[in-house]
Structure 1
Amino acid sequence: MRRRALVAGLAGLAGLAGCQARGLSRIGFLAGLSGRGAATSVDGRNGAILAVEQVNAAGDTGGRPLELVVQDNGDDPATARKAMENLVAAQVQAVVGPFASAIAIAVLPQATQAGLLLVSPNATASVLAGKDDMLLMLSPCTRDTTRAYAQLLWQRGHRRMAVATATDPRNAVYAVAWRDEFCAAFQALGGAVAATVDFASDAATAYGDVVREMLQQRPDGLVFACGSVDAVRLAQQAQRQAPGLPMAVADAAGGEALIALGGRAVEGVLVGQMHDRSSTSARYLAFVAAYQARFGRGPGYHAAIAHDAVTVLVQAAARSRAGESLKQAVLRHGPYDGLQQPIGFDGFGDTTRAPSFVVVQDGRYQPLR
């Protein structure tokens, strides 16, 4: 039954069929499968697993099935570096991941030394962009994403926003950049940043105090630059202290965990995501059906973008020329068949995708109208 579902899914994902070429046989996967980000990382792992299984189910892999080697980078750089050591030892030819900017910074020197290409679905800190290194970014950098947030909030009538930011080491690389770039973009439009409140993402944090400080300056909306668990806790406090006040969360918080943990507290929350859940693309609908059949639930955006990462590697290998490294092949032979839009890279391995804005309504992400 599972094989039939996978093969059926290939009807809409033909770009993956028959693409294993020039020795691509083992891909690594690196994400935080334990800790606070586990839910979204598992979703990403499942998307990568599905992509690899679909390549193998097509039956044209040169007699050697494509293999996915999975490693958990945990929540800290030391664990991540050990996980990267394991992937290098396993002789993977590329890595899908990591998903966090701080982890990308931690393991990039190892990848560089090993000549190992990292294709990150979700590392977006601007400090990683515009560099000729072994990291390719499938999501736009925070500078582009926050500009889209600022423009949308301004268009929706917001003029005074308060921002809460997770500034502990685990989150700061992404969240601080997100806050700074959002504030700059919003102020450039004529808006005011009424308050910025920093907090540590840990059990000792008094989230009620964070929200209380944000509200003191009477903002007309709240923005949370953090992960999904912290966003839920802040939203819960905001609903108690200022019911009905509009809230937006950074794109990193917009996974399945936000809804699963947030319940009614996150109703109405605005979030930008890197894929459109309402897409009618044949490739995307085939992916959703195959994912549902394989894992018994619908995919989140981390699954979709991890699937795209495998697609990039497989199609680049198939299109490569003799003597090209995998990085050279990826940069030279795009665009690639993303689930919802073509995927291309500039000379630095950065990509441009416009976020699709959604709101939480009745426990589901709904397109913004």
Structure 2
Amino acid sequence: MKRQNLINNSWLRLILVVLLIGTLFLAEESMMKKTILIGFAAQLTGVQAELGVQERNGVQMALETINATGGVDGRKIELIIRDDHGIPEKAQAADRELIKAGVLAIIGHTTSEQTLAGLEVTNPAKVVLLGPTVSTPDLSGIDDYFFRVYPSFKNSAQAFAQYIYQRSGITRLAIIYDSDNAAYSKTYCSTFSSKYQSMGGAITSEISFSSVAQSDFSPLLLKLSASKAEGLLIIASDIDTALIAQRTRLMGWQTPLFTSCWAPTKTLINNGGQAVEGIKFEQAYALTSQSPTLLDFQARYQTRFGQAPSFGAALAYDSFLVLAAALEKTGGRPEGLRQALLETHDFQGLMNTFSFDRFGDVERPIYLSTIRDGKFITLEDLTLTDPGGE
């Protein structure tokens, strides 16, 4: 009888072990089939929200494309969105919330100042932060968890300075920039000015303003005009660039206008009107590209959102696709994600291929563009022929 009980107990223990292993296996399989959480953070409200909204739309379209074809490693992706309000402290709060929610990576932010703030949260947590449009060279060459699909403006700002001085024949230039995004605008101003002055050009006046404080541009522009400048470079958001251009023309100053890659969205045209006709800018986005993949994206975006996509939407789309491809390599796990991105080379984006270097930076072609008859037009490729000056 005792022996029979021992046999029964042994079988019972074996059954329990098998059941436990099965339960653990099913739990692991269930975890593997759970949705993959990706975060998105950008300014989505306020007067400077257009770029963030475009980027969110681009990410949403890419997510739907990936999920429609089976997701990543057989799992659907879920997007968690946070508004950083264009304020560094709120960018940090948004990233903390996303990390607490369990996201594997975050796509954002739209501007350099918010990105620098966010990295103080994401880097210690070892969470990838992927920027669609962040271009400050202050983030170049750093071994961390930041990646971007838009190149540093170190070369493009210099190429733009070279174009204005050598091709436009403007030897005296005034500059106005938004100090609230100093990581971008002040650094752009410095990079551009160094190159421009190294060729013999003169910066007649340089003035900053606060977009948060909603500065009155009239007295600032009067001072810039009085400096006898032959042209004006505006380093600001789409809405502020439009307002500055409007004020410049209303005061009768018909000087040639230039702006940086931050401003070119539909908001610039809608709010600038005739005042922004002919304004020139540099950007790593081929506005009139005939790439079949870009044309298809533009058509689908127009149908979905009722307007043409800006550079932010296209680059955010690229950001999500390259992130999804890296996650496919890791089996949808965060472990190894950074390395998978670093090993990404010749990835096919909407316009062209791109590769991450060992610091998560990219190189892409730069284009000179303008606004003509209320539309963005690409004029030519922009190349820095004489590096230096910065």
Normalising by structure 1, we get a TM-score of 0.88
Letter in 2 for 1:342: T
Q: Among residues 166, 175, 190, which one is paired with 1:180 in the alignment?
A: 190
Give the structure 2 partner of residue 295 of structure 1.
305
> Aligned equivalents of 1:270 and 1:232: distance in 2?
13
Letter in 2 for 1:191: G
8 A Cα contact 1:24 1:93, kept in partner: no
Q: Among residues 151, 157, 160, which one is paired with 2:172 in the alignment?
A: 160
- Secondary structure in 2 aligned to 1:157? coil
> Which ranges in structure 1 are unaligned for 5 or more consecutive residues?
1-20
> Aligned equivalents of 1:171 and 1:140: distance in 2?
18
Deviation at 1:293, TM superposition (A): 2.1
Q: Does 1:245 align with 2:245?
A: no
The correspondence of residues 137-156 of structure 1 with structure 2, limited to 5 A, is 137-154=148-165, 155-156=167-168
> Aligned equivalents of 2:89 and 2:72: distance in 1?
36
**1:38-85 residue CA offsets vs partner (Å, 9 max, x unmatched):** 111111100000001011112354442111111111121222122112
Bigger shift: residues 38-47 or 142-151: 142-151
Bigger shift: residues 299-308 or 256-265: 256-265
Deviation at 1:33, TM superposition (A): 0.5
Give the structure 2 partner of residue 95 of structure 1.
106
- Secondary structure in 2 aligned to 1:333? coil
Q: Does 1:56 align with 2:72?
A: no
Cα 1:23–1:195, aligned 2, differ >3 Å: closer, same or farther? farther
Q: Does 1:42 align with 2:44?
A: no
Cα 1:24–1:329, aligned 2, differ >3 Å: closer, same or farther? farther
Letter in 2 for 1:353: R
Cα 1:37–1:323, aligned 2, differ >3 Å: closer, same or farther? closer
Q: Does 1:209 align with 2:219?
A: yes
The correspondence of residues 130-141 of structure 1 with structure 2, limited to 5 A, is 130-141=141-152
Q: Among residues 229, 232, 235, which one is paired with 1:222 in the alignment?
A: 232
Q: Among residues 338, 356, 359, which one is paired with 1:348 in the alignment?
A: 359
**1:245-291 residue CA offsets vs partner (Å, 9 max, x unmatched):** 11011111122211121111211111222211211111111111221
Give the structure 1 partner of residue 95 of structure 2.
84
> Aligned equivalents of 1:260 and 1:97: distance in 2?
25
Letter in 2 for 1:276: A
The alignment's C-alpha RMSD in Å is 2.1
**1:70-105 residue CA offsets vs partner (Å, 9 max, x unmatched):** 111112122212211211022111111111111111
Deviation at 1:316, TM superposition (A): 2.0
Cα 1:114–1:203, aligned 2, differ >3 Å: closer, same or farther? closer
Q: Among residues 193, 197, 201, which one is paired with 2:207 in the alignment?
A: 197
Give the structure 2 partner of residue 259 of structure 1.
269
- Secondary structure in 2 aligned to 1:252? coil
Letter in 1 for 2:139: L
8 A Cα contact 1:25 1:93, kept in partner: yes
Letter in 2 for 1:66: I
Q: Among residues 112, 116, 121, which one is paired with 1:105 in the alignment?
A: 116
**1:13-55 residue CA offsets vs partner (Å, 9 max, x unmatched):** xxxxxxxx99982211111011232111111100000001011
- Secondary structure in 2 aligned to 1:368? strand
Give 1 or 2 for the bigger CA radius of gyration.
Answer: 2
8 A Cα contact 1:224 1:250, kept in partner: yes
> Which ranges in structure 2 are unaligned for 5 or more consecutive residues?
1-31, 381-390
Matched length: 347
- Secondary structure in 1 aligned to 2:229? coil
Bigger shift: residues 321-330 or 203-212: 321-330
Deviation at 1:204, TM superposition (A): 4.9
8 A Cα contact 2:42 2:86, kept in partner: no
8 A Cα contact 1:175 1:226, kept in partner: yes
**1:107-145 residue CA offsets vs partner (Å, 9 max, x unmatched):** 112111221101101222221111111111222223222
Normalising by structure 2, we get a TM-score of 0.84
